[in-house]
A = this chain, B = another copy of it.
């Protein structure tokens, strides 16, 4: 049975890691994207460029289903947030056709993509930042002292750093260019260190069986550009609490804040492979192996946290060249 990766985008390393793990056992990686300029496509065993009508994605889902059946695909996963929602909506359709989406529960997906729902869902379970879901509420909270300036305004369902603004004065709440002020959430802007965590929740047991942490040193376009591998007991203890929800399955990418006085906040949870996953993989974790076990019906046990520490990691560009049928990289 083969694995299909939708919205392969720029995630070339991820596709390569999967091939390294699955190809020796004659399983293939099929990559999919709507853009023929998605380099990730060309690292797969086979790829498809298909259309997607974002307002009416039923044809897109049908195309994926057809490709899955043609290519003997047993599992599918997507690498972008909006598609997690779409795949969750079509979960039973895939399952009926013998295809397992590598997906967390609907609760996990809805409550991570929407940042206010995230706050509402998690505030009793793990440490999260106080969040307001409207300009009016935020202004009120600032006046009452419940929310301190500077405040950060984020699109409620945004990805990366797009649309994020810092507000230093109360009057800026009015001058901010909103699409609609209810499409934003407002939080205190913390002066803190930031950590990226990759976690793998076993598809069968829901146990968090593997984890990798890095301290973020620099961001670029909202992605971790430079980082150092670390392990912190306090962060581990906070995120392992997520097991109790029973919501998570497969790869989960988390963003964690640590203040100078040692307070931890889980800032964001994306129930998919994070853009920085290759950092952890090269330091010693291997979510591909864990997922492959799950694909074969094997339950994983908790892995030792023995990846390499204090490794400095920095992204740089390579270029993929597609010259007719000839594909090469520099």
Q: Which residues from chain B contact A283 at a C-beta distance below 8 Å? A: 321
- Tell whether A95 is near chain B: CB-to-CB under 8 Å: no
Q: Which residues from chain B contact A322 at a C-beta distance below 8 Å? A: 311-314
- Tell whether A36 is near chain B: CB-to-CB under 8 Å: yes
- Tell whether A226 is near chain B: CB-to-CB under 8 Å: yes
- Tell whether A40 is near chain B: CB-to-CB under 8 Å: yes
- Tell whether A13 is near chain B: CB-to-CB under 8 Å: yes
13 A-B pairs within 8 Å (CB atoms) are namely A12-B317, A13-B319, A37-B217, A37-B314, A39-B316, A278-B317, A282-B319, A282-B328, A312-B323, A313-B321, A314-B319, A315-B318, A316-B318
Q: A317 with B319: in contact, given A217-B37, A221-B220, A226-B37 (CB under 8 Å)? A: no
- Tell whether A218 is near chain B: CB-to-CB under 8 Å: yes
Q: In the complex the two chains form, is A37's CB within 8 Å of B312's CB?
A: yes
Q: Which residues from chain B contact A237 at a C-beta distance below 8 Å? A: none
- Tell whether A38 is near chain B: CB-to-CB under 8 Å: yes
How many copies are assembled? 2
Q: In the complex the two chains form, is B321's CB within 8 Å of A318's CB?
A: no
Q: In the complex the two chains form, is B321's CB within 8 Å of A282's CB?
A: yes
Interface string of A292-321 (1 = CB under 8 A from B): 000000000000000010111111111111
Contact-size category for A: 35 or more
Residue of B nearest to A320 (CB): B314
Q: Which residues from chain B contact A316 at a C-beta distance below 8 Å? A: 10-12, 39-40, 317-320
Q: Which residues from chain B contact A37 at a C-beta distance below 8 Å? A: 217-218, 226, 312, 314
- Tell whether A330 is near chain B: CB-to-CB under 8 Å: yes
Q: How far is the CB of A16 from chain B (nearest CB, A)?
A: 8
Q: Which residues from chain B contact A312 at a C-beta distance below 8 Å? A: 36-37, 321-323
Q: How far is the CB of A143 from chain B (nearest CB, A)?
A: 25
Interface string of A146-160 (1 = CB under 8 A from B): 000000000000000
Most buried by B among A218, A275, A319: A319
Q: Give Cα A175–Cα B11 distance, bound, in whole angstroms.
A: 39
Q: Give Cα A199–Cα B316 distance, bound, in whole angstroms.
A: 23
- Tell whether A84 is near chain B: CB-to-CB under 8 Å: no
- Tell whether A279 is near chain B: CB-to-CB under 8 Å: yes
Say which residue of B11, B275, B319 sits within 8 Å of A313 (CB atoms): B319
Residue of B nearest to A40 (CB): B316
